[in-house]
Structure 1
Amino acid sequence: MELKKINPNLKQALIENGLTEANELQAETFSTIKSGADAVIQSAEASGKTTTIVLNIIQKLEKAADESTRALILVQDKDKVIEMATLFRKLGNYTDLRVFGVHEKGDTDFDKNHISLGLDILIGTPEKINMLFSTAGFNLNTIKIFVVDDADKLFKSRMDAVVQRLSMSIEKTQRLFFTSDITEKVEILAEKIMIEPFWFEMDDEE
């Protein structure tokens, strides 16, 4: 996959998984995400948003470091947690990045213990993430990139208040919303928690 200054190991993993060319979404957003800027990224269903999230986080973090979580990704449900964690392991197979997923059906004590042992990337549903961080006292200020996937669906399910609360617990981070539609709730929350965000709207056929 040809993206400007992409990590060679990540590029090799992408090729091995059949991702030899960047689509419009990946090509248009790569430099902005890499720069650390906040962004709202709208693209149709099945347009590669999950892959875009995964490759950009691997690019930014590169390797395991410290004990505290550096990337936090909020997703809709257990299936999405599993899907994204699996993709991280495929595309990050040339890194030692530590990835862990949590959801409502998981064992809370196990999840807390695993997080406390140290990891780089945490994927989870908003309610489970909120519960874990509020009850276990984990430090959110180590989060370098805060991603909300399917933001329109999560906010429709009234998760916007939880997302805002989590975001406010992080002093300084890059905030990214990925969404199929830019709804009023997406716009409102972006204005509340982001700093001069870039807005990307891809054509439906992409």
Structure 2
Amino acid sequence: MTTTLRTLHRTSAMVIVAFVCLHLANHMVSLQGVAVHIAFMKAARAVYRQPVVEALLLACVAFQVYSGLRLALRGWRQRRGLMPWLQALSGVYLAVFLSVHVGAVMFGRAVLNLDTNFYFSAAGFHVPPYPMLFAPYYFMGVFALFTHLGCAAYWYVPPTSRVARILAVALPMVVGAVLALLLVLSLAGMIQPVDVPAEYKATYGG
């Protein structure tokens, strides 16, 4: 049963990672300006907001959260060493992050009737004291993703190749930290100007 769950977990992860790569690329182009970000998003939405595609993505996220938490909790007492714990803890944070982030986006669309674009994510960075919450929240979300992927890659490298195993984890973590920092700085308007409309700030009492 555990083997089957792990296999399905990896399969749904591939779908989610494909979307996340597109999503992160969308955020990275925001470094050129919010208008560029929104233009990129409109083009990407023509694909991922197709009803069938979106339903598949949401189903994969729900399964990923369920299977990830179940796998992490199942082997909690049997874990030994840094790598199993790093994989489990990054996976748990990812499960929480995905639940909160996707839930917030769906709430914003369905209940608040907002376009969940760059401003929806950035609003919390521009109404004190929420930046103290959202800066680590977003940073750790991206960093945990790359850490988790690095941990997964670690197990595919032969144990005899110690340096290669270390690099398999360390390189994704470095890339994740850089991308996470750029994302946070972009949302905070510390790289390019960001003027968040009032209707987005209002969700935080701004």
* TM-score, normalised via structure 1 length: 0.25
* TM-score, normalised via structure 2 length: 0.25
Q: State the structure with bigger RCO (CA 8 A, min sep 6), 1 or 2.
A: 1
User: Higher strand proportion, which one?
Assistant: 1
Q: Which has the higher Rg, Structure 1 or Structure 2? A: 2
User: Higher helix proportion, which one?
Assistant: 2
